[in-house]
């Protein structure tokens, strides 16, 4: 959501409200637009690396975990700023195996090929809010994808608190497979952007498992 002096249109570009037309506001808007554009270029290059994967298939795991915790038997992707749980069939990638743009990643493989990914990116764009982090993350979604919407959510934060975030739902096609994607984006404890992304071939990842992944996202203190 925009500040009192600014609003955000459908393209993600800040527009000045009638009551905030000072030179300072105009310059601030131009600076933020330039920063966001630079962030989009980096984000597009980095997040596109995961678009070549046609994705997820996992067995259902136990439910009932509290928000910000890993369900029993699941693994956890840990970074300095954010953690997220992953189903046990996913194997965490080491530094040599994952894209340099990802701080952490887990992959599900079938028949020798990757069919699922969960990734974490840190500092991929300049952002002053969860909304701006989400705008940068959207730039990494492939052209031709269908954006299903963005909504405000909260994720587990430091010391048992809650942290503002945005959830972006989208879909795209890879090698004939229709893939559903979700990105959770926000700011970490140091006010740096993060994005947790899950891609799944439709019908291969249950809604309950996807919910558990999203609910496990935790911003570290």
- Nearest by Cα to 87 from 72, 97, 100: 72
Grouping H, G, I as helix, E, B as strand and the rest as coil, residue 88 is coil
- In percent, the amount of the chain with pLDDT more than 70 equals 70
Q: For residue 66, what pLDDT band results from cuts at 50, 70 and 90?
A: low
- Nearest by Cα to 121 from 109, 108, 110, 134: 134
Grouping H, G, I as helix, E, B as strand and the rest as coil, residue 72 is coil
For residues 220 and 214, give the distance between their C-alpha atoms in angstroms, rounded to a whole number: 15
Query: Element (H or E) spanning 32, and its range?
Result: helix 23-47
CATH topology of domain 6-219: Protein Transport Mog1p; Chain A (3.40.1000)
For residues 213 and 76, give the distance between their C-alpha atoms in angstroms, rounded to a whole number: 10
pLDDT digits (tens, 9 = 90+) for 25-51: 434 443 344 344 344 433 433 433 443
pLDDT digits (tens, 9 = 90+) for 95-151: 998 999 999 999 887 778 777 889 999 999 999 999 999 999 999 998 899 999 999
For residues 190 and 203, give the distance between their C-alpha atoms in angstroms, rounded to a whole number: 37
pLDDT (0 to 100) of residue 47: 39
Q: Worst-scoring range by mean pLDDT, 2-6, 157-161, 207-211?
A: 2-6
- 176, two tokens: 């004939």
Q: State the DSSP code for 158.
A: G
* E strand spans, the chain: 6-8, 14-16, 75-78, 82-86, 91-92, 104-110, 113-122, 146-156, 162-174, 177-187, 193-201, 218-219
**Inter-residue contact 32 to 14 (CB < 8 Å):** yes
Q: Supply the angle between the helices 130-138 and 23-47 in degrees, to the nearest 10.
A: 50
Domain ranges (residues) in the chain: 6-219
- 133, two tokens: 């982090």
Interval 49-71 mean pLDDT: 47
The count of residues in the chain is 221
Q: How far is CA 215 from the centre of its chain?
A: 13
Strand partners, 122: 194
Residue with tokens 């249109």: 9
């Amino acid at each position: 959501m925009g500040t009192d002096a600014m609003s955000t249109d459908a393209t993600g570009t800040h527009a000045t409200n009638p009551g905030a037309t000072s030179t300072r506001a105009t310059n601030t808007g131009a600076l933020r637009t330039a920063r966001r554009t630079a962030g989009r270029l980096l984000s597009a290059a980095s997040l596109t690396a995961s678009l070549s994967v046609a994705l997820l298939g996992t067995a259902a795991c136990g439910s009932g975990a509290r928000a910000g915790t890993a369900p029993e038997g699941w693994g956890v992707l840990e970074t300095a700023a954010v953690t997220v749980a992953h189903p046990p069939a996913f194997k965490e990638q080491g530094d040599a195996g994952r894209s340099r743009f990802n701080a952490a990643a887990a992959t599900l493989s079938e028949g020798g090929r990757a069919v699922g990914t969960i990734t974490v990116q840190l500092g991929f764009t300049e952002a002053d809010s969860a909304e701006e982090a989400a705008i940068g993350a959207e730039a990494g979604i492939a052209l031709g994808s269908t954006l299903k919407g963005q909504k405000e959510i909260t994720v587990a934060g430091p010391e048992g608190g809650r942290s503002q975030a945005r959830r972006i739902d989208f879909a795209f096609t890879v090698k004939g497979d229709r893939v559903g994607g979700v990105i959770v984006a926000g700011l970490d404890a140091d006010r740096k952007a993060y994005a947790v992304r899950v891609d799944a071939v439709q019908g291969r990842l249950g809604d309950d498992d996807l919910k558990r992944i999203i609910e496990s996202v935790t911003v570290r203190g």
